[in-house]
Amino acid sequence: MGQTLRDGGHQLPVQFSAASSAPAPTPPRRSTRTALLLGLLGGAAVIAALAITQVASSLGYDSAAAQYESAAETTSNAKAQVRDDIADLRAATDAAGRVISGGNQPIAVPDDVHAGLASAVEDGTAAASDADGIVSTDIPAVDPKPGWFWELFGATSGLEERLRDVDALADELVDASTEIEDARATVTESGLAVITTAGEAAPGFEGAHLSARTETVIALRDAAAEATGATAVDEDAATAYLALQDAAAQVIATENEELAEKAGPLLNTRLEIEAFARSLAPGVLLDFDWAPVVSGAGYNGSMGGYTTWWWGEKGRATIALSNSVAEQWPGVRSKALVAHEVGHAISVKCQSMYDSSTQDSIEKWATAWAISMGYTDDANGVWAYGYPPQNYIDAAAGCR
């Protein structure tokens, strides 16, 4: 019997369709492989880019570090040189300061010459102080190299900034070096002007103090030679200058002592006789001693003289004269006796011209010398020692 809908039965198709009966499709395998490959390639590209960035940042840092270290080394060397220059400048200004302020200075130097040195010292001191501030600038060392590129980029920028600072410091050092060199040159020029001016004034100073003792005059000459020979303003030059001024002070002191010893009514005549004796023996330093009796003579119209000279110290002698030589001045007898004594004194310049082995020969020489100078009065030594041989007179004529 046929079944109806009403009976609650199901009426199904005889066969299910293919669409409803087939399993769900899977994605194609080719598409999966492509995506994976693209992913791998993209990752490799990122890694490569990072690697390139790392290498580039490292190379850039190395280049910046090398430039900085080179500039830092050069500038550090320049700092060391400027430090040395500062020390040299300060040595010069210190020495010049000693020249300016060194105690009693009897040998006068023109005010403008002194003022020039004072100004140079002031400028040199300022230049040294300014340079101190520049060389005290620190030059930092390069820090340890960072590892990652983002750190390297920052460190490279820092090195480039430091390099600009070092370059600026190098320029300042060049300027400071120039200023120091100029300042030192000015101190040297001004200082030598003071020192050599004083040295060159020494002969005139000596001539103005003829009664000074010989040892102080010799010291003055030696100090003047040191001063005029100075080529730099340093401790040696300052010492030479101050020694010159000290020697000049001693010249004045001993002259005052000598004049005090010769003071009295015969002073002017004594000084006139001393000047006369010096005129006969240029180049020989003469000291003079005066006494009532010399060599046993001096009273009752007699005159006495005695001369001491030093073969080992050519150019100096001491002549002792009795007061009676001044009392009878300017008589021909006084002049003849003085000429005889000067003949002894000047023999230090002519030792090889005569036999100095005996007292008689020595006296004959002094007498011959007085005769050769035109002083023929017997007080020239003839009365006391006899007439000298003609060959002595001829030889003495060549001793001047």
- The amino acid at 23: P
User: Which DSSP letter does residue 208 get?
Assistant: T
Average pLDDT on 153-165 reads 90
Average pLDDT on 124-138 reads 95
Average pLDDT on 321-329 reads 98
Pair 203, 270 in one domain: no
Pair 77, 157 in one domain: yes
Q: How many domains does the chain have?
A: 2
Average pLDDT on 190-199 reads 97
Q: Give the rounded distance of the alpha carbon of 385 from its chain centre.
A: 59
Average pLDDT on 119-138 reads 96
Average pLDDT on 231-249 reads 97
Average pLDDT on 314-333 reads 95
pLDDT at 13: 46
pLDDT at 42: 63
378, 391, 366, 387: which is closest to 277 by C-alpha?
366
- Pick from 1-5, 154-158, 341-345, 378-382: least confident: 1-5
Pair 381, 304 in one domain: yes
Residue 125 lies in a domain: yes
Q: Predicted confidence band at 25 (pLDDT cuts at 50, 70, 90)?
A: low
Average pLDDT on 22-50 reads 63
Residue 341 lies in a domain: yes
Average confidence score pLDDT of the chain: 90
Pair 61, 136 in one domain: yes
Average pLDDT on 263-281 reads 97
Q: Tokens at residue 357, please? A: 């082995």
CA distance 328 to 321: 12
Instruction: Let me know how many helices (H) and strands (E) the chain has, helices first.
Output: 12, 3
Pair 156, 271 in one domain: no
**E strands along 266-397, which residues?**
285-291, 305-309, 316-322
Pair 55, 203 in one domain: yes
Instruction: Tell whether the model's pLDDT for residue 148 goes beyond 90.
Output: no
Quote the domain boundaries for residue 177: 46-208
Average pLDDT on 278-287 reads 95
Burial class (CB in 10 A: 0-12, 13-18, 19+), 91: middle
Q: Tokens at residue 327, please? A: 């009392």
- Backbone CA torsion sign across 232, 236, 239, 244: negative
Average pLDDT on 256-279 reads 97
Instruction: Tell whether the model's pLDDT for residue 24 goes beyond 70.
Output: no
Instruction: Tell whether the model's pLDDT for residue 97 goes beyond 80.
Output: yes
225, 170, 186: which is closest to 203 by C-alpha?
225
Instruction: Tell whether the model's pLDDT for residue 209 goes beyond 50.
Output: yes
| 214-228 helix and 235-261 helix, angle to the nearest 10 degrees | 160
Instruction: Tell whether the model's pLDDT for residue 1 goes beyond 50.
Output: no
Instruction: Tell whether the model's pLDDT for residue 2 goes beyond 50.
Output: no
Is 297 strand, coil or helix? strand
pLDDT at 40: 62
pLDDT, greater one: 305 or 35: 305
CA distance 156 to 158: 5
pLDDT at 178: 96
Pair 93, 203 in one domain: yes
Percent of the chain with pLDDT over 70: 89
pLDDT at 397: 95
pLDDT at 123: 97
Residue count (the chain): 400
Q: Predicted confidence band at 27 (pLDDT cuts at 50, 70, 90)?
A: low
Pair 269, 348 in one domain: yes
Residue 82 lies in a domain: yes
Percent of the chain with pLDDT over 90: 73
Pair 203, 269 in one domain: no
Instruction: Tell whether the model's pLDDT for residue 38 goes beyond 90.
Output: no
Pair 166, 270 in one domain: no
Average pLDDT on 357-375 reads 96
Angle at 237 (CA atoms; ends 232, 243), nearest 5 degrees: 165
CA distance 337 to 376: 10
- Backbone CA torsion sign across 347, 350, 353, 356: positive
Whether residue 338 contacts residue 369, with contact meaning beta carbons closer than 8 Å, is answered with no
Is 309 strand, coil or helix? strand
